Amino acid sequence: MTSVKGAVALVTGGRRGLGRAYVEALIRHGAVKVYATARQPASSEDPRIVAETLDVTDAESVRSLAERTGDVDIVVNNAGVLIAGPLLTAAPEDVRSIFEANVFGALRVAQAYAPILARNGGGALVNMHSVFSWASGAGAYGASKAALWSLTNSLRLELAGQDTHVLGVHAGFIDTEMVTAIKAPKISPELVAERVMEALVAGQDEVLVDDVTEQAKAALCGPAAQLALGRLRG
């Protein structure tokens, strides 16, 4: 169980979309300070929100930020990229870029902040997955989110000894700029952030935000063909 009230939090990719919703939800639930990070951060009129520069694909950027933010209790690994397209025609550099941000970037942040969380009593690490951690049809993006899910499950075991709560978040399409061109039912980023706050306080290991995500996880027990997103919607 993690108390948000009175905590200091850090959100990667915290400038807009889901990241901004996380920042606002943390403040709403009582966080005393939230570091809202981005490659090009935007300042806030709220003194509790501190804009910081962070590129999760750059090890030095992650290390430098960790040195400046040693008071963090909650880390939300939200930063990521989406480059659409099938695997068979994907450019190798695009696949590498996706994994560099979505997998290795999240791991860099976890490695940098694990000692800080330990010193501050344990705290929490939140990793943003996707329905495509389980559902098929999202090319390299889905593969990266599946890898992040596996990474999160291992980090949960490794961080248990220092009392760090590790929460994995799965959701379908979220109504942000990243998926503007995708024509599909979407949920609000505010709903996702609120569900995550509830899951933190409840001490959950995993939160499935919407119905399609619950269907995807249930489908893991059946034939692999059932994991196509179209079948889940049906």
Q: Which residues are catalytic?
A: 141
Contact 43, 63 (CB under 8 A): no
Task: State the Cα angle at 152 between 97 and 228, rounded to 5°.
Answer: 70
What is the token pair recorded at 103?
Answer: 């997998």
DSSP letter (8 states) at residue 44: -
What is the token pair recorded at 31?
Answer: 């966080």
Contact 43, 59 (CB under 8 A): no
Measure the CA–CA gap between 14 and 16, rounded to whole angstroms: 6
What is the token pair recorded at 7?
Answer: 């905590």
Measure the CA–CA gap between 154 and 152, rounded to whole angstroms: 5
Looking at the DSSP assignment, which residues form a beta bridge with residue 170? Answer: 208
Number of H helices, E strands in the chain: 8, 7
Measure the CA–CA gap between 69 and 37, rounded to whole angstroms: 11
**79 alpha carbon, distance to own chain's centre:** 7
